[in-house]
Amino acid sequence: MHLEEKIAPARRAQRTVARPVITGSSHSFPGTRSSQDDLWQDFFLDHYDGFPLARRIFENSGITSRSTAVDPRAEKEVSGWSTGRRMARYIDEAVPLGKRTVANALESAGLAPQDVGLLAVASCTGYTTPGLDLRLADELGMSSRVQRLFVGHMGCYAAVPSLGAVSDFVASRGRPAVLLCLELTSLHVQPPSRDIEQIVAHALFADAAAAVVLEPDADSGYEVIDVVAVTDHSTADHMSWQITDLGFKMGLSPKVPDVLAQHVGEVVRDQLLAPHGLTPEEVTGWAVHPGGKRILEVVGERLDLPAGALDASYGVLDECGNCSSPTVLMVLQRLPRTDGPVVAMAFGPGLTLYAALLRRS
């Protein structure tokens, strides 16, 4: 049989491209929940030896409370842990947290673990092989044939490109998929210093997991329409996440909001919305990653958003902190359930801006 004769039946059997639709979602937190004031008074006050600027950074963070896998008030030696010890703790904490989050998301979609064709996991705060994706597939009882994807070290914006990859799988294969974003930034408390970027990181970041389930051609939910990105390579040093002997160390320049201000309007208006005949005024929901108060202010100003448009983002920042990659999915889950176009947007190392266009039906 000639090659063309072999290929022809496969071509005839090819399915049409399906619409990837988010039909289920969930988010979860590790066991320790603390107020920002208590974290400052009971640990970081001594950690920074009462440094007045550190106190002001904590007080002006826009955060009331956070959840963490590691409570530095109870495990005060965490800043001296080796990277190996932190990675061992990552697996101990991440597996049950991820299992609970994915199971709840599948339940909300009315699916069983065996229905999943692809499990994608995004995380930049821990590594192991066998990976978290494989361990969770086993713990959840997914098929031995389930496909898996691990997305690592992309930082806060990882949820959006991961959503794009998972959507492409659903569209082309016509099978359900799950995306889990899970971060345990509390594992990476660094030794005391007067490094302002490190103080800001300790004041902002928290732990969480968020999952979404996507199905082909579902009748209701958020259909994923498009994903776009821009990277300003000239500012790559503005955000970093370096592996050291004492865990992962963040670099976070105060210039980040200024760089985002240069790009957010063009990315959203010209790259994401205009090709679909839309303007920001027609968007019914904004799920913007709350990297900090100033970042949200910049997005609101540059897109001329109406009052209240970013309430979900400010609410997540206030109640949960910046949880890295799960955060934008948590904001999306908090949006009012109104029909129409929705924009999900996140930022991270690169300096990179990713945005997705969704439509609720």
pLDDT at 3: 47
Q: In whole angstroms, what is the distance from residue 186 CA to residue 62 CA? A: 18
Cβ proximity of 43 and 35 under 8 Å: no
Q: Which of 156, 181, 320, 323 is catalytic?
A: 156
Residues 6 or more apart from 198 whose CB is under 8 A from it? 190, 249, 250
Sequence-ordered list of residues with C-beta below 8 angstroms from that of 126, at least 6 positions apart, any chain:
86, 87, 90, 91, 94, 132, 184, 187
Which residues on adjacent β-strands are paired with residue 227?
356
Count of all residues that appear for the chain in the document: 361
Rounded to 10°, the helix 83-109/132-140 angle is 40
The full set of domain ranges for the chain reads: 20-216, 222-360
Kindly state the tokens that stand for 33.
Answer: 């929940």
119, 316 contact by CB (below 8 A): no
Which residues of the chain register pLDDT less than 70? 1-15
DSSP-derived pairing of the beta strands 340-348 and 285-288: parallel
Q: In angstroms, rounded to a whole number, what is the distance separating the alpha carbons of residues 79 and 92? A: 18
Same fold, 20-216 and 222-360: yes
Cα separations in angstroms, 40 against 23, 79, 184: 39, 15, 19
pLDDT of residue 252: 80
315 exposed, middle or buried (CB, 10 Å; 0-12, 13-18, 19+)? middle
How far is residue 277's CA from residue 114's CA, in Å, rounded to a whole number? 39
Q: How far apart are CA 293 and CA 22, in angstroms?
A: 28
Backbone angles phi, psi at 354, to 5 degrees: -120, 140
Q: Is 127 left (phi over 0), alpha (psi -120 to 50) or beta?
A: beta
Q: What SS3 state is found at 98? A: helix
pLDDT of residue 192: 95
**Superfamily of domain 20-216, CATH level 4:** Thiolase/Chalcone synthase (3.40.47.10)
Q: Quick one: how far is CA 236 from the chain centroid?
A: 20
How far is the C-alpha of 173 from the C-alpha of 176, rounded, in Å?
A: 9
Provide the CATH number for the domain formed by 222-360 in this structure: 3.40.47.10
Structure tokens at 271: 């790259």
Cα angle at 315 between 314 and 318, to 5 degrees? 85
**pLDDT value for 115:** 98
- Assess whether 156 carries a catalytic annotation: yes
Residue 182 dihedral angles phi and psi, to the nearest 5°: -140, 125
